[in-house]
């Protein structure tokens, strides 16, 4: 039988481990719409505590987590400042415009990082006839910019500008645990700097389903209303919450291995093809590769069919690789060798 492919397309492709499956099977459950699922209630309390906030809300997806949070933080017809390639702008099917009535003010920011200066320049004057600026969204880590991490000083700078303007700060923290592990910053440091944030359990943490919104009690109560409206209130969802509790216990510290593997891929490819990537830019679990004269789509096809290596194409000459708990160091080395060989051909 041929080896299973080495799947580096995304950290969302992981399958629950045997330990996680056991935790799911053993979960105590109840009807969460009645507030009676003990595993969900415990998870939400534990997550709120870890982020230093009052409350948390389990949602089926990151896209829904972003939507319910933005419904609370920005009224229809107001404007939200975001980095131009942010997931909320580019990959959420226009939901925030269609369902939330929001207008986006997108900002080109090198490395995907919004600074105080960039945000200040993007805010509208608070007077007639300008559109009302309501919220700034940061993405931790930045997906489209290769897993880059906001440092606390930069977040503080943005927070200060937002406070001056009397508006909110939201963190789309789909990969905030990667940021926390890479930077050595406990997640409550992020939690207390934002009006609300969310993280995804279905990415580096290795869960099959789930994202969690964190914030003050009032905000979370209101988000719960929006989650219901969007059809995301579920019943015996403790089986999924149990997976997240398991991941928070077993899969956080190991994210450092994913980061080391991403750096290893970059090192191996750069040693053969220095123009393809600068390893020092690899901050967490993503590697973006410049394919030079090769078409990324051709490489994706050849790597997949001939080398058993699955990677993503993010542009005509750009590949994305994401490390995760289903690919070990040996697999990453094999994948990097195959990529380096094809880039050199």
**Cα separation of 212 and 205, whole Å?**
13
Binders of ligand PLP among residues 17 to 56 (CB under 6 A) are none
101 half-sphere exposure, CB direction, 13 A CA radius: 10
Binders of ligand PLP among residues 195 to 224 (CB under 6 A) are 200, 202, 211
Which region among 59-67, 94-102, 278-286, 314-322 touches ligand PLP (by CB under 6 A)? 59-67
Binders of ligand PLP among residues 260 to 319 (CB under 6 A) are none
* Residue 287, φ and ψ in degrees, nearest 5: -130, 125
Pick from 17, 41, 61, 281 the residue near ligand PLP by CB under 6 A. Answer: 61
Binders of ligand PLP among residues 66 to 85 (CB under 6 A) are 66
CB of 61 to ligand PLP, least distance (A): 3
Closest CB to ligand PLP among residues 139, 195: 139
Closest CB to ligand PLP among residues 304, 312: 312
Closest CB to ligand PLP among residues 63, 265: 63
Q: Is 63 one of the binding residues for ligand PLP (CB under 6 A)?
A: yes
Binders of ligand PLP among residues 149 to 178 (CB under 6 A) are 172, 174
Q: Is 133 one of the binding residues for ligand PLP (CB under 6 A)?
A: no
Give Dmax over CA atoms of the chain in angstroms.
69
- The residue sitting closest to ligand PLP, measured at its beta carbon, is 62
Q: Is 234 one of the binding residues for ligand PLP (CB under 6 A)?
A: no
Distance of CA 106 to the CA centre of its chain: 18
**Cα separation of 95 and 226, whole Å?**
13
Q: Is 113 one of the binding residues for ligand PLP (CB under 6 A)?
A: no
Given a contact cutoff of 8 angstroms between Cβ atoms, the answer to whether 276 and 270 are in contact is yes
């Amino acid at each position: 039988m041929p080896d299973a492919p080495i799947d580096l397309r995304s950290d969302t492709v992981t399958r629950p481990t045997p330990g996680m499956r056991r935790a799911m099977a053993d979960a105590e459950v109840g009807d969460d719409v009645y507030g009676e699922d003990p595993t969900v209630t415990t998870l939400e309390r534990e997550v709120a505590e870890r982020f230093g906030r009052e409350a948390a809300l389990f949602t089926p997806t990151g896209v829904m987590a972003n939507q319910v949070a933005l419904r609370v933080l920005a009224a229809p017809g107001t404007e939200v400042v975001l980095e131009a390639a942010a997931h909320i702008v580019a990959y959420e099917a226009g939901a925030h415009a269609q369902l939330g009535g929001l207008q986006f003010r997108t900002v080109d920011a090198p490395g995907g990082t919004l600074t105080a200066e960039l945000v200040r320049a993007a805010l509208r004057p608070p007077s007639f006839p300008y559109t009302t600026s309501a919220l700034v969204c940061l993405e931790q880590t930045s997906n489209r910019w290769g897993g880059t991490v906001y440092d606390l000083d930069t977040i503080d700078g943005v927070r200060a500008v937002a406070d001056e303007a009397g508006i909110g700060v939201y963190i789309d923290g789909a990969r905030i645990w990667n940021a926390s592990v890479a930077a050595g910053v406990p997640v409550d440091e992020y939690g207390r700097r934002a009006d609300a944030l969310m993280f995804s359990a279905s990415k580096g943490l290795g869960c099959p389903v789930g994202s969690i919104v964190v914030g003050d009690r009032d905000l979370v109560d209101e988000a719960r209303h929006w989650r219901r409206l969007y059809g995301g209130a579920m019943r015996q969802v403790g089986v999924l919450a149990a997976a997240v509790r398991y991941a928070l216990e077993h899969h956080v510290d190991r994210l450092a291995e994913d980061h080391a593997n991403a750096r290893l891929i970059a090192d191996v490819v750069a040693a053969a093809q220095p123009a393809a990537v600068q390893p020092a830019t690899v901050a967490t679990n993503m590697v973006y590769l410049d394919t030079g004269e090769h078409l990324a789509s051709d490489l994706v096809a050849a790597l997949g069919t001939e080398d058993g290596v699955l990677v993503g194409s993010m542009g005509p000459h750009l590949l994305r690789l994401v490390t995760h708990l289903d690919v070990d160091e040996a697999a990453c080395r094999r994948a990097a060798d195959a990529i380096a060989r094809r880039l050199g051909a």
